[in-house]
A = this chain, B = another copy of it.
């Protein structure tokens, strides 16, 4: 039975796709992908490129990068209905997402728009925060500790509350709110326990030493912070 597949391709290294993701890509008749700037393939497409069969029907579509919710929703709905048509014609349709389709992904919205019309399957992927823990060799959590993952563009008061209550905190897309976040960590004496990584597992991966920073640095879009408030030894 044909389906729409949301496929996580992991954080950047093509070896971080799962066997299931690769096997699923091989089953596809159609692959929808956002057109990136200059008509280049999207980041997710480039990561999975070597696993994508040459004969697959790649449909490039425009996913607007705008804060206008209604405009975005309208575009997504048009693409989603195209996908429904394809699946109803017996085609296996795929959509690739960077990282994990369940973590801050456009696929979640597409899924919501079509899940009463066609079958959907989600193929989990390695999230950037898992990879950041692997690179930095800092466990995300141990014993009875919690992990909190929050994007830097959440309300500042909520962000501060979560950092105060949590033991291990991942702040995603730090660049958006970096000066405020830096100031808060400095005031809370947490700078020594915070680690910054940009573009984890991509060719442009970069570990940034916060001790050399003053909060005015221009950070890449995919920069993530891991704050570990507990010492390793308990």
Residues of chain A having any CB pair with chain B under 8 Å: 8, 10, 13-20, 22-23, 100-105, 108-109, 111-112, 115, 120, 122-127, 130-131, 133-135, 137-151, 153-155, 158, 161-162, 165-166, 232
Main SS of chain A's interface residues? mixed
Contact of A124 among B103, B105, B126 (CB under 8 A): B126
Docked-complex contact B141 and A104, CB < 8 angstroms:
yes
Contact of A100 among B15, B18, B101, B130 (CB under 8 A): B130
Docked-complex contact A150 and B146, CB < 8 angstroms:
yes
Instruction: Given the known inter-chain contacts A18-B10, A124-B16, A140-B103, please indicate yes or no for A148 contacting B151, CB distance below 8 A.
Output: no
Q: Which 3 A-B pairs have the closest CB atoms?
A: A102-B133, A108-B139, A15-B20
Docked-complex contact B134 and A102, CB < 8 angstroms:
yes
Neighbouring B residues of A142 by C-beta, 8 Å: 104, 108-109
Docked-complex contact A17 and B16, CB < 8 angstroms:
no
23 sampled A-B residue pairs with Cβ under 8 A: A14-B19, A15-B20, A16-B18, A17-B18, A18-B18, A100-B130, A101-B134, A102-B140, A104-B143, A108-B139, A109-B142, A120-B137, A122-B133, A122-B135, A124-B131, A125-B126, A125-B130, A127-B130, A146-B149, A146-B162, A147-B148, A148-B148, A148-B166
